[in-house]
Amino acid sequence: MDKFRKLGINPEILKSLEEQKIHEPTEIQEKTIELVLAGKDIIAGAATGSGKTLAFGTGIIQNSDKCGMIQALVLVPTRELADQVAKSLKLFSKYKHLSIIEIFGGVSMGPQVDNLRIADVVVATPGRMLDHIGRETVNLNNVKMLILDEADRMLDMGFIEDVKKIIRACPQKRQTMLFSATISHEIRRISDKYMNSPVEIMAETQVDPSKLKQVFYDVPDNMKFSLLVHLLRQEKKGSVMVFCNTQRNTDFVTKNLQSLGINALAIHGGYSQDKRSRTMEKFHSKDFEVLVCTDVAARGLDIKGVSHVYNYDIPREPNQYIHRIGRTARAGSEGIAVNILASRDYENFSQVKKHNDVTIERLELPEMQRVSIGFKEHSSGGRFEDRGRGRFGGSGRSRFGGGRSGRFGHSRNSDSGDREDRRESHGRSGGSRFSRSDRRESRGRFHGRY
């Protein structure tokens, strides 16, 4: 605990850290805690899992009092991250007895209004916090610390204007801290406008590049799911994350894996908060080995021991690739990122390679059997991967060295559900108890065989 003590952390926090067996600061903690405690504005480049919650949490806890006025506000992009950050702050402040509450969509406003009256620290998603500001059910006049956690993701999800409105609702005289995996031009513009001579800090990635192997398979359109099944059956070592770009593909993959006896769970923006929480409880119980998810739903989830990351869909945004593969090869463990390319993925894969400094090895397709798919979405719109030629079918040589190819271009199978998840907590229509997106509960029906 000597290193934490030298950073200026008070005995109350040190005692809680010792009880949690946290003895050594991470890189981001070592670089930021002294500055945080000194009241400096900070821009910190730090990814999920780097220990940033404790980095800004020490300042929140040490510089706040139990007085029933909101002194610190933490903005986060997702409900899961709000819950995770709030729980961590409660553990760290065990002996300070602060009232720390989380505010997000998908639940009734009433209990939140009551809790806000006695809150010392609030962790919130932008949409629901803006709802409370609009209804005048929150008082931010005493906020002296404002933290934007995973700021890049909040901007990616379309929360930029909401964030600006919330910043303007806080006192001008305050400490502002911004934590982000990537520091974009938009984030720098926010810094220039709303921060006071911020200190910029970069932490090295938590992923060990020497232990992370990145590969891709170029697969016929009608064998994409079959390859995923083959690899999962051959390579299971620990927890596995399978990423899809859409809610529909997430449900499609999960249902079919389950029908084949693979213990898989889905999580995406179409799930209610209660269902998301129950899903993660099941996954952490280790009864399930595969989590199939969208980027929006996965961001902020604390999942340890991930051995494999599968990109069933190549992300549309190139920087999302780095976030995905950063889930594995942590803390000295080996990991592998597997990209499964059908014709519709070529353009996205080209952008990933163009915009990221990554080395991705091409592997030859293994011998495998085609899997009969027992579930498909009952929908008039959208087509799934394993239909053979389909919308993105065709023939010829692959752009990436062999295999069949087809039309190149972006998939039009856009995920309206993930777009709704960007506004997961607004719910402004007619004073409805739940937001529109919170009521969308993955209603697709599955049937058929092909």
The structural domains of the chain, with segments of one domain joined by +, span 2-202, 209-447
Greater confidence (395 vs 38) lies with 38
Residue scoring higher pLDDT (211 or 351): 351
Percentage, residues of the chain above pLDDT 90: 53
How confident is the model at residue 428, as a pLDDT?
34
Answer for the pair 275, 441: CB distance below 8 angstroms, yes or no.
yes
> Confidence band (pLDDT; 50, 70, 90) for 318?
confident
Say what the pLDDT of residue 220 is. Answer: 94
Higher pLDDT among residues 201 and 287, named by residue: 201
Number of H helices, E strands in the chain: 18, 16
Averaged pLDDT, 245-270: 92
Is residue 236's pLDDT more than 90? no
Residue 395: CB atoms within 10 Å: 10
Average pLDDT over residues 274-287: 81
3-state DSSP call for residue 27?
Answer: helix
Which pLDDT score is estimated for 431? 35
Closest by CA to 74, choosing from 58, 92, 91, 60, is 60
CATH code linked to domain 209-447: 3.40.50.300
Predicted pLDDT at 398: 41
At residue 17 the predicted structure's pLDDT band, cuts being 50, 70 and 90, is: very high
Q: Which has more confidence, 246 or 440?
A: 246
Asked if the domains at 2-202 and 209-447 fall in one CATH topology, the answer is yes
pLDDT of 241 > 60? The answer is: yes
**Which of 140, 135, 131, 127 lies closest to 172 in space, CA to CA?**
140
Residues 6+ apart with CB under 8 A from 446: 251, 252, 255, 375, 376, 377, 378
Q: What pLDDT sits at residue 257?
A: 94
- pLDDT bracket for residue 155 (50, 70, 90): confident
| Higher pLDDT, residue 1 or 200 | 200
Residues 253, 255, 257, 263: is their CA dihedral positive or negative?
positive
The better pLDDT of the pair 206, 59 is held by 59
Q: What is the pLDDT of residue 96?
A: 92
Helix or strand (DSSP H, E) at 291 = strand 290-293
Interval 412-433 mean pLDDT: 35
Report residue 59 as tokens.
């300042």
pLDDT tier for residue 148 given thresholds of 50, 70 and 90: very high
Question: Which CATH number among 3.40.50.720, 1.20.1050.10, 3.40.109.10, 3.40.50.300 corresponds to the domain 2-202?
Answer: 3.40.50.300
Mean pLDDT across the stretch 383-396?
Answer: 36
Q: Is 431 helix (H, G, I), strand (E, B) or coil?
A: coil
Q: Rounding to the nearest 10 degrees, give the CA dihedral for residues 87, 143, 44, 339.
A: 50
Confidence of residue 330 (pLDDT cuts 50, 70, 90): low
The pLDDT assigned to 69 comes to: 96
> Which residues have C-beta within 8 Å of that of residue 128, sequence separation ≥ 6?
103, 104, 105, 112, 425, 426
Across 49-78, average pLDDT: 93
pLDDT of residue 280 exceeding 50, the answer is yes
Query: To 5 degrees, how large is the angle CA 133–CA 134–CA 136?
Result: 60
Q: What is the mean pLDDT of residues 4-26?
A: 91
pLDDT of residue 329: 63
Average pLDDT of the chain to the nearest whole number: 80
Band of the pLDDT at 438, cuts 50, 70, 90? very low
Q: What percentage of the chain has pLDDT greater than the value 70?
A: 78
Given this model, what pLDDT does residue 278 score?
A: 84
Asked if 133 and 169 touch (Cβ cutoff 8 Å), the reply is yes
143, burial (CB in 10 Å: exposed 0-12, middle 13-18, buried 19+): buried
- Report how far apart the first and last C-alpha atoms of the chain are (Å, whole number): 60
